Amino acid sequence: MEIFRTSVTLVSLCLLHSSLSETQSLCRGNLPPVQHVALNSSVTIPCPVLTAPEMVFKLYKGPEEISYVRINNTHIIKHNNGPRKDFSGSFKVNDTNNSTSFILNSVTVNTTALYTCEAERFFPPPFQKVEHKPQTIVFVEGRPVRKRNGCQQVNHLAFWVVLGVMSVYGVVMTCTVFILRIKLNAPFKDRECRRKWQGVQHPTWQGFYIDTV
């Protein structure tokens, strides 16, 4: 089912964003990762690694730029939503490995789209665009996604296995006892039948004669 939904999403995005440039195109054969998220939850869009003291990161929803962030020495000094004033999100820099990402908050069904993150180096010169442009497909579920507890699944599986073994054992034991009972009762029935037939004795016919002695 998830594969079917993913395929439908990819086809829809290909048709919807057919006007994208070659570097942004989804339909050229490279399959971006797909993130299935629940309504009103958050989703992380990865961006290029921070490799210079001063960089700019731009987030695109399809062909439309929805946000950009300017960073100077790992500090966010400028955050502008551009034409999308309704953009609800933030930008994060991981101090451990300098990875960066946009975080979309309170997602809705309209959040479903292909997202591309681009980066540009401003300092030290020369100005240069980062070739790596991560793309992510965000697919917002129509209803909240319930997280399944692995421990509960294992416990339920163990319960049904034990119940099945006990049921089979009970059926086997019942059949065994029933068969043994039939075999044990059979000799007694044969004896009773024999006694009944032996108990009915017909008297021998004696002829009428006179003892003349």
**0.85 exceeded by pTM:** no
Q: Which is higher by pLDDT, 167 or 18?
A: 167
Out of 99-103, 125-129, 198-202, which region has the weakest mean confidence (pLDDT)? 198-202
Structure tokens that stand for 92 in this block: 């994060």
Please give the Cα distance from 101 to 42 (Å, whole number).
12
Structure tokens that stand for 155 in this block: 């416990």
The domain ranges of the chain are 2-140, 148-196
The CATH number of 2-140 is: 2.60.40.10
Please give the Cα distance from 109 to 177 (Å, whole number).
63
The residue length of the chain stands at 213
The amino acid at 4: F
Please give the Cα distance from 66 to 141 (Å, whole number).
22
pLDDT tens readout for residues 25-83: 445 556 789 999 999 999 999 999 999 999 999 999 999 999 989 998 767 776 655 55
